[in-house]
Structure 1
Amino acid sequence: MESESMEYRYLGNSGLKVSVLSFGNLTSSWDKGAEEWNFQCMDKCIRGGVNFFDTAEGYGLGVAEKILGNNIKQGGWDRDDLIITTKLSPVRFGIQGLSRKRIRQAIDHCLERLQLDYVDVLYLHRFDPEVPLEETIRIMNEIIDNDKAFYWGTSAFTPQQISECFTICENNGWIPPIVEQCEYHMFEREIVEKDYVPLFDQYGLGTTVWSPLCGGLLSGKYNDGNIPAGRLENNPFVNFFKQRYDKFIGSRKEEAVKTLTGLKALAEELGCSQSQLALAWVIKNPDVSTAIVGASAPHHMDDNIGAIEVIKKLTPEVLTRIEDLLGNRPAPSMNWRTFTPNPPRR
């Protein structure tokens, strides 16, 4: 089902090819009328060459998985052409966390809601400090052995936690994770561009990055530095959103407005939307396997998919101009072998 207009990359050190743009249905988990427009979003995605669809048991406490399962059945698409992923959370689902007992039960419930025999990638949706990591990884391998998932990954794990996963797998002859799902966008760069670089180099780790538009803050709707009217209504993640707004715009409004309006002017010069520019910039990074986008209306997906055409416009000159606007490139780690201290004063 590959499309000539879409770009595809291998997901980490695996043979699984994914579209560089993917669709996540978090936003549909709290909207009672979401199932129909979520289907329309999926249809637009598939027509545009998107093959990767992400959800989680925690999105609406299973509602998002049910919607995704119903949409797949409604569309009648070939399951072999779709890459479906879900995530298991250590919180809000009982006291067993990511234990062997809980994961065994959880995967069956996920598959039942999705109406599928398997998922392509199963994530650990945050680290569970109360369960031995070796116990969790053992059951993830058992799930793969039983063909209920083909690959596994992590979400929001630290570099140290991911490295420990690989060490445990190497010591036990187990299948290691192939992917980390982390936040990455123009305002949040440290994780992907600095912290995870050794993991990319050593293990070939893939990334399925979330919030490439920073929850809409980079879409152009916040260029005056204010939250649009109605944005916080009926939003179950209002506290999380306000924290991000305060961090990236509210606490530095004058500087943020200058950056955002500069991005808008550059986008207009390139003949694209500000959202497309921000998405294309994320996808341009070769360490990004796919960028997960959401939507609250089907027409948003048209704009998102259009970002693919913008990638070719990101010349070295344009990327330099973006860097000048952002001013937040992470400093590389110090190489103490080449460090030269200041000479002593005489």
Structure 2
Amino acid sequence: MESEAMEYRYLGNSGLKISVLGFGNMTSGWSEGTEQWSFDCVDKCIRGGVNFFDTAEFYGMGVAETILGNNIKQGGWDRDDLVITTKFIPTKAVGIQGLSRKRLRQAINHSLKRLQLDYVDVLYLHRFDCEVPLEESIRIVNELIDDDKAFYWGTSEFNAQQLAECHAICEKHGWIHPIAEQVQYHMFERAEVERDYVPIYKEYGMGTTVWGPLAGGLLSGKYNDGNIQPGRFESGPFSQVYRQRFETYVGSRKEAAVKTLQGLKSLADELGCSQAQLALAWVIKNPDVTTAILGASSPAQLDGSLAAVEVMKKLTPEVLARIEDLLGNRPAPSMNWRNFTPNPPRR
């Protein structure tokens, strides 16, 4: 079901090939009437060559999984052509046992029932659980893979040290390693993907399925004056998170942020694309990004997002250098102490 208009990459060092743009249904299920909207989004994505669909038990407290399962059944698409992923989180909102053996066994059964599937392609540990031994969580994940309830596993928002610990445990026991980390990545949030995870890429070949490529809409062009639109961030399950994100990336540095955003808009105009397309193209231009997970406020919005694959081809080294000048936030690389020369002592 691959499309010539889409690019596909292998997820980490696995043989699982996924579209460079994916769809996430995080906003599904929190309010009434989202099922048809979700179906229209999934349908448009599949028509555009997207094969990667991400959900989680936490989204809509299970309702998002149900909606995605209904969407797949309604569409009648070939399950083998789709890559479906879900995530299990250590929060009392969905289970008091964290990422324990007991809870993960229960969680996968509930998720598969809601999704109306026999298996998910990738199972994620959706945040690190500091109260359950990591070895216990990884052991049961491997058992679930042996039971064909998942084919691969990954992590979400684990730091580099925690990822290294995951791989060390797998090495010790001969278990299946995680193939992907799901992490926030966009023009304003770069350090983990571009610096902290570099040793993990090199040592273990992990892929990344990044979320928030438009920084919750901040890079869409709607905030280029540095102000929040009336009514924005005042309701909804993630309104407080979005407001905090605005304050972090724009509100607390308004003058500099406006200059950057308006500069990106001007560059996008030169390239003949939207500012949102430029921001998405920049994310997937990074070879360490396997896929960028899209959200949408309407199915029509996905038309522009999917076109970012073509915009990516316009990001020449010269254009990328201009973007770097506008952003001014490239993470400093880790210190190479072999090249360190101390200052000579003063006499």
Does TM-score exceed 0.5, indicating one fold?
Answer: yes
SS in structure 2 opposite 1:281? helix
SS in structure 2 opposite 1:106? helix
Equivalent residue number for residue 190 of structure 2: 189
Equivalent residue number for residue 97 of structure 1: 98
Where does 1:1-346 land on structure 2 (aligned, <5 Å)?
1-91=1-91, 92-346=93-347
Instruction: Mark the runs of 5 or more structure 2 residues left unpaired by the alignment.
Output: none
SS in structure 1 opposite 2:27? helix
Question: How many matched pairs?
Answer: 346
16-25 or 86-95, which deviates more: 86-95
2-side partners of 1:230 and 1:8: how far apart? 38
C-alpha contact (below 8 Å) 1:179/1:207 kept by paired residues = yes
1-side partners of 2:70 and 2:96: how far apart? 29
For residues 34-80 of structure 1, give each alpha carbon's deviation from its aligned partner in whole angstroms, at most 9, with x where no partner exists: 11111111111111100000000000100110110000001000000
SS in structure 2 opposite 1:107? helix
CA drift at 1:234 = 3.0
C-alpha contact (below 8 Å) 2:27/2:60 kept by paired residues = no
1-side partners of 2:233 and 2:67: how far apart? 23
C-alpha contact (below 8 Å) 1:98/1:136 kept by paired residues = yes
For residues 251-308 of structure 1, give each alpha carbon's deviation from its aligned partner in whole angstroms, at most 9, with x where no partner exists: 0001000000000000000000000000000000000000001011001110100100
1-side partners of 2:29 and 2:327: how far apart? 33
168-177 or 335-344, which deviates more: 335-344
SS in structure 2 opposite 1:152? strand
Report percent identity of matched pairs: 75
2-side partners of 1:94 and 1:45: how far apart? 32
C-alpha contact (below 8 Å) 1:28/1:296 kept by paired residues = no
For residues 91-119 of structure 1, give each alpha carbon's deviation from its aligned partner in whole angstroms, at most 9, with x where no partner exists: 02232111000000010000000000000
CA drift at 1:342 = 2.3
1-side partners of 2:250 and 2:240: how far apart? 15
Alpha-carbon RMSD across the aligned residues, in angstroms, is 0.8
1-side partners of 2:275 and 2:260: how far apart? 12
309-318 or 234-243, which deviates more: 234-243
TM-score normalised to the size of structure 2? 0.98
CA drift at 1:250 = 0.5
CA drift at 1:31 = 2.8
SS in structure 1 opposite 2:313? helix
CA drift at 1:241 = 1.1
1-side partners of 2:104 and 2:323: how far apart? 43
TM-score normalised to the size of structure 1? 0.99
For residues 147-175 of structure 1, give each alpha carbon's deviation from its aligned partner in whole angstroms, at most 9, with x where no partner exists: 00000000000111111111111111110
Structure 1 residue ranges, 4+ long, deviating more than 6 angstroms after superposition: none
CA drift at 1:235 = 1.4
CA drift at 1:226 = 0.9
C-alpha contact (below 8 Å) 1:281/1:311 kept by paired residues = yes
254-263 or 228-237, which deviates more: 228-237
1-side partners of 2:84 and 2:101: how far apart? 23
2-side partners of 1:284 and 1:31: how far apart? 34
2-side partners of 1:41 and 1:27: how far apart? 12
Task: Give the residue type in structure 2 aligned to 1:144.
Answer: I
